[in-house]
Structure 1
Amino acid sequence: MKKLFTTSINSHGISEKSFQLQNCRSSYVAAFGFNQSVDIFDRHGEKKLEIPLPGEAISMSWDADGDNLAIIDDKTSSATLWDSLSFKISQIHTGVRDNLTVLSWSKVGSRLAIGTNKGNLIIYNHKNLKKTSLLGKHTRRITCAVWNRNNIIALASDDKSITINSSEGDLIKHTVIHDQPSSLDFGRMKLDVTSGSEDNTVSCIIGKKKLFLLNLNDMENPLELAFRQAYGDLVAYHWFGDGYIMVGFSCGYFVVISTQSSEFGKEIYQIRDHKDSLHDISVSTVLNRCATVGDRCVKIHDLQNIRELTAIIELEQQEEELNSSNNNNNNMSTGSIDNNLLKYQLQWSDDGQLMAICTPQKLLHVFLSQLPLLASLASPNSTNLLARLTSLLEVTVEPIPNAKQIADLPELYRSSYLLKIETEPTFIGLGQKYLSVGINNHAWFYELTKSEIVLISEYDYLTTVDRISLNENYAAACGPDGKLTLHWINPKTFPDKSDMAKIQNKLNKTLRNDDTNYLSHESCIFPQSTSFDLKITSFKLTNDFLIYSTNHGEIFHFNISNWNYANNYQHNCSILHIFPNAIGTRVAFVDEKGLAFIYNPANGQLIEIPEFCPSINNILWDLEDTENPLLIAYDNLRINVYRYFMNECILNNLSVIASSRKVDDMLKMPTKQITDKIQNDSILITNRNKNINNDTSRSNSVTSTKFSNDKIDSNKLATGAIFGNCHLIGVTRLPNNHLPLCSINGELCMLSPTGRLLTQLLTTHQFRLYTKRKGLNIDEKHFKFTGIKKLSYHDMVTYFEQALKSGCFEDAEIFANHLDSQQIWRRLGMSCLRAMNFDLAIRCFRSIQDPGLILAVQRIQKIEDRYLLAGYIAMILKEFDKAQELFLISSEPIAALEMRRDLLHWEDALQLARNLAPKEIPFICREYAIEMEYTGDYINALMHYERALNPSSDNNEDKSLWNSKEKHQPSQKKRYDYNKEEWSKHISLCNAGIARNAIRLGDLKRGIELASISGNSNLQKECADILEKCKHWQEAANLYELAGCYESAVIVNLKCKNYIKVSELLMHVTNTPRLHLQYAKAREIDGAYKDAVEAYETAHDFDSVIR
């Protein structure tokens, strides 16, 4: 911690606290003065005001917002009220004659409770100036008063009782205790899981020995917690967390106890923090820290691990203070604090920024425990500098850790440069050449020269500013009212008309002659609409554009060079935050529904960021990964790490709808109408750029232009194919109260609460310790010791998986080289192919010796049509439905048909061919019929063979007879020119198929006729085989004979006992004694012995001849 100042105060011991830090803002410290006054100090120790009092101050309290300080003294019955905004002092007349003893502001309202020495209570409403006097609340002096968040007030009195009252002073509960109460407070006791988050328990110290607890939901059963005598007296306690209480004791101990039902009263931690004595404790839930004071030091612990000591503050004392302390030590017994003059007092501010300690020697020490987390980065790759607040009046400008050094960066800024400023800022901005700091509506601008940083200008804005962004020449500032001011930073360098003309000529533009437009380039106020409720919610200034969002859901790109609007996007709800990349070509934003998207202004495409937590409201783009950038989305507890693949093609919900419906329904129209039909039937997630030329509310003429000169095919956008995909890689825990500033190759640079810069490797990028990618400062010896060769196989696989999931393919290649696995290389290659990293994909496929994939990638990588390229990639990845969608919107939709034919997806092929290539329908039908015939679906096979004879898809006439010339003619509906030889061959194959399947289905006449007249012996033999299997012997025999298969014809004729035919056929059969023998036996059985003898002789069966 850094000490801000030390001052003397009048610590007279009447009050528990001789000082009070301002609530909420902690801009002021109020302390008891010496001449019946209260002194007001600012954060730097300067006394801003001395509030005079009629007597010695005995108590004071800030209201909930820190706007008003109420003070009571020991002489009058009036309270003094100081307004910290106007510095006005006023008096609150209580209307009673009692001496005032205690006061307390409500935690949620404007009520002030004041107690008197006679037990009376006054409730003052500062909002309506109404006072309510309640007499006889207690019989003796009221010593403590405290409110909870439900506006219930608890009072403690010297009459050894506690009362619970409503906000109007009505009594709710009166409880008698057995000793003097002190340190009254409200807390949240969690006795069961249904306990809410409200303050439901009154607590106080009883007689410095016990802790009293009264649950408002069970006020008939108060509880008392006693502690070990060895701890000493109970001096202070504090509620925190989920029903926990930290209790400090005079002998230097502090313990943490729980009020949860399962462990009620249990000591979770017990630590002796100080050897001699402990005086006070304080807890900061913002910093997640606790502190104890005693033994002339302050010790700070982490609430996550209370045993961990994070810091020790030694309280400096002057020589006379030490002597005074030594003299007083005789009056002080170890572990007992009876004299308030020797008591240390400790307080932490609400926001955790300030810690104040009052010593027994009436010295007030104020320390800075947490700096306001203010920092700004210059545009990446311009200077790679950042500016951060390192003290309340100091700003440090330095290079971004581990970022690339810019060659022309002045030597002065290659290390830290400390700039002293006059006022504590509330916002900081850094550009390529300028630094800005400011507070409220005033900003100071400094120029980063080669020798020093010098103040060049100041600017007063019309309203309060809390955010500022700078580029090379301009600054943009905006405040809570939603009005943004864009202005030239250095008035001395603002170009005159001649300079402006030169600039415009370089841009091939013409300078307008009217002076008003020329002067408007120096400053402008946004939004320019007259709508009274239109507010700017977020903005960013890049080198070329001012990008801002509104509560009406718009994102504007204002072109600074042309001084007009380049783009406008309309979202479906209000946009809360925008986060453009360095050049403004992508804009990540968060809307009021808690959803996050990435918007591409060049084509209007919108991509949702998946698994986005609604509590996240900040996104950073990685400074080095620009091709497929890394995105860091964070809240107060965690960091979501995303990889945005710019070239990966995805299909939105629209495409799912299109692919789920029958393709036939989508493709019954001409090709050019397909995407129009889809666009009319479905809601697109891509939003078309809105032309804002007709916005008459803008004073300047506005044109809607694109970022690219390439013509954008709106029909392609309408189909739902999007280039760019965002993946959640993993989650990293964010250290408490740290502000992420940037990410460089997966290494996070953060600003700590003390103003220091810290770097941390994301848990999703731990593999970088072994691949040693640029951007990481790893000691060479350490790298060798923990080198990749030292890793086990399992660890290598784990880091490979991590690198692959993170999209760091070059790092994954390093691990793949060591693993040398076919599966590893193939996975890496396919992932690279999906991201269109062709060179690395080819290297991966070469490592597994897959020439087919290598040639395929080499052939497609030079394709210029992105949709066609993405389609081929999807096809290689076996995502065929996606490939078809992409082919259909590419310049070669016929590729979808070719893919389906190659995959034998005949139904899809036929549906695609209706619009893409009707000429191919006959050939597809024939190929489909062949497959059906092989699978035994003869009915559909016959139908498709017949359909294949028709050159037009609209006519199903039967052209199965070669002798019908009329039927050979194409349909009159649409004629196609076919190659005669190819068509003739096709007709022959179709008729052959019809013949085979007609026979199988019982149409013997048609099948036999087609086979007979075909002149194709192979077909005739096939048909004869089918007939034989169907036991149509005679027809089979005839076809066998016609095909010249005489042996088969003989066999079949023997089966049907057509011996006459057999005898004729045997004349054509030679060297087949088996057939002659069968014929001889058959003739012998029939009694035709002469024919039998001849056959036996031919078969050389002479025994049978003799017989």
Structure 2
Amino acid sequence: MIGFSLGFFVVISTHMSEIGQELFQASNHKDNLTSIAISQSLNKAASCGDTSGTKIAYLTSLLEVTVCNPVEGELPITVSVEVEPNFVAVGPYHVAVGMNNRAWFYALTENGVERLKDMEYLGTVASMCLNSDYAAALFEGKVQLHMIESEPQDSQEERETRLFPSTDEKYRILSHALTGDFLIYGTNTGLVKYFYLEDWQYVNEYRHPVSVKKIYPDASGTRLIIIDEKTEGFVYCPQNDNLYEIPNFSPTIKGILWENWPMDKGVFCAFDDDKVFTYVFHKDTIQDAWNVCTSLNTEEAWNELARACLHHMEVEFAVRVYRTIGNVGMVMSLEQIKGIEDHNLLAGHLAMFTNDFNLAQDLYLASSSPICALEVRRDLQHWDSALQLAKRLAPNQIPFISKEYAIQLEFTGDYVNALAHYEKGMTGDSMHQEHDETCVAGVARMSIRMGDIRRGVNQALKHPSRLLKKDCGAILESMKQFSEAAQLYEKGQYYDKAASVYIRCKNWAKVGELLPNVSSPKIHLQYAKAKEADGKYKEAALAYENARDWDNVIRIYLDHLNNPEKAVGIVKETQSLEGAKMVARFFLRLGDYGSAIQFLVLSKCNNEAFQLAQQHNQMEIYADVIGSENTSNEDYQSIALYFEGEKKHFQAGKFFLHCGQHARALKHFLKCSTTEENAAIEKAIETVGQAKDEMLTNQLIDYLMGESDGMPKDAKYLFRLYMALKQYREAARTAIIIAREEQSAGNYRNAHDVLFSMYMELKMQKIKIPAEMATNLMILHSYILVKIHVKRGDHMKGARMLIRVANTISKFPSHIVPILTSTVIECHRAGLKNSAFSFAAMLMRPEYRNKIDDKYRKKIEAMVRRPDTSEVEEETTPCPFCDFRLPECELLCPGCKNNLPYCVATGRHMVKDDWCICPHCEFPALHSEFKTLLESESICPMCSERVTAAQLKKVQDCSMYLKEEQDDQ
């Protein structure tokens, strides 16, 4: 056999007698022949070549048809026709048009369009199909198949035409199609028949349940879409007679188009008037299905592929699919079973995964591991089936399955069968003690529910579980078996429950026994009421107290036990309003109006308390006990008006202040008698501070300055007024004056504290410290340090501080001679002979000489007569600002002209590498010196707050503190 590229092939004999002779030739392909294959066993030859499924023919006018092939890029061909056609058909090389029962055929050649012939049929043509050689016309339930171009020399006459169906076939053809090899038609009886043109005979028949309305084959005819009278769509494969339903097939579909591109084999489109639906049909390989799912990428498609893999036991591929869709559980499950070689066991696992449990059981039973069937039924809680399987496969599992079955039956209320299975579940084996205890507990519960209360209670009492006793007690309580229920609750140590049930059966003796273990206030309350009814008031009071019913406790103590002290204590502790009212009524009956008022206020009965205080002249008591909480301005005003009428100015002013009437309050405070003057001035200052009223402020200042009565008041009040008004600069100036007066009077600690408190307030308000205040505080602090160091025996430090104080001796007018005397003595002891001589010479002045203490006079006179000018030189330390070395007690640096911060422990100037601060007042101190001082002292010399050595932290970088010092200068 020799094939030629233009579509011809020739068969030449190789027999010796006729070698080289042409036997026959054929032209199966009009344009192109690409390959030939011969099967000797079938005695067939197969060839492949051109297709013609992409031509389109359409009317461009009433008498003109245009044929085009947009896929192949061919130029359109116009065909002029003789009539306006009712139908048009196109084939690979022909086009046919027709009207009624007549059709005209035209050949499409390279040279143009050639009319071939016209033909009449036996009825009106409904539709027509063409292939390269044949035409098939459908009319009146019949199909006529005939050749388009008759070639008598090549074909037998009977193969030129044929009418379907034959006369002995009783059906009507409703639809037909013509492929290159087959005529296919569908009938009203549901028959689908394939007629093979090559052999001119039927080769396949399929019977559909209902009539076939339309058929649409693909190019080869190996896939056929059927639309039946129910408008349902199917894909039919004639090779194996398989039928596949098309999912989501619309009933409005008008037609089907198959994809002709070989790479997209199986793709087809269904269309109606509005939409086009694209489908892919893959029945051949899982890999094809994978590609389809990859394209669709929907969860539904992937799950369908996964189920198919499980159905066909493709475990590896199923793992791949489930991993793609992220189903971790299935991946892990399949990984565990993929190495199983037993076919039935593997199939059983896969059937279980697809929820086909009956099939899984059958497969497991046929496998090498039938026990898996029992495990499946247990996991599914199919207890009846599990018990049946256990009898055959694992009798030792029957007790455990019976227990699980009994639990389920108990839950559903089938107590009879639950009891039977609990009894079957007991093993009597110490190895399964916990299991047996569960079964005994079940028997106990079911026995009680079945009415065998004695058996159930006895088993529950013997059982170690507290929870069982509680459950059985609850069942008995619901059955109104209170005595047995209480007994079980008590045994299970559910004392609240037990006591509650004992109360229901009026067993007060048992309730009393259980009370120490009962925590429920409700039960204590019920017991208390019972005891009160019996007249046992002490027991009732105790029970009310345990129930935290304080009102009844107070009532019992007042009305029955005559113990008002206890009642008062409870009211004060619990702040019970009702209890306070009861106590108030009790004291009112006794005539103790002060106590009655106190408890009326405590019970928030302020009006009653006020009236009572007014009636019995007890307003001072009422005023003392009334608090700020829940007290209205009207209450305060009532009290203030009462005291105003009584001319009690201080009390009137205090309550006018409480109700916010600052002008009236100040007026009364300024009218107070001399005995109340100090307290009144303090309250007046508080009043003005709250009012923030300039007129009231000026009024108080005039009073303090003596403008109104010619008697100026102590300057400390003016200081406190400025502090209350937050006028810190004025307060600072006043503080300096006060400190100066205190210092002049010899009250150096008071002067120090006034200046220190003002210093801290200004620092908190970030106001610059006046230089005079800082200097005065430093001198007073130096004087205070003298006593500390002299007491410790450190005469050098004491002498240095005394020299600093003596150099400003005019600031200490009350103690000039004693201070100078102490300075001389301490300087002499410290070896500062020259300094001692200088101050001794000062004491010899006429105004001081006679005031020297007699026991020191001769020594001082001798010191002046025989002067010793030797002096221990003072050590130098670096300035913290500029590192210039200067005497350690010098506080003004000659190098940088800065005032230096001083140590609160020694009075020396600070150095950078030994810096710490007081944790309370934050004044600086030399770390080493402050620690040494705290060995004998326990407070800071500046703020007098308690300090321990552990609280002192050495400051590594003191620049922040130095900057603050500079800002204050």
TM range (shorter): 0.3 to 0.5
TM value normalised by structure 1:
0.31
Q: Which structure is higher in strand share?
A: 1
Q: Which structure has the bigger radius of gyration?
A: 2
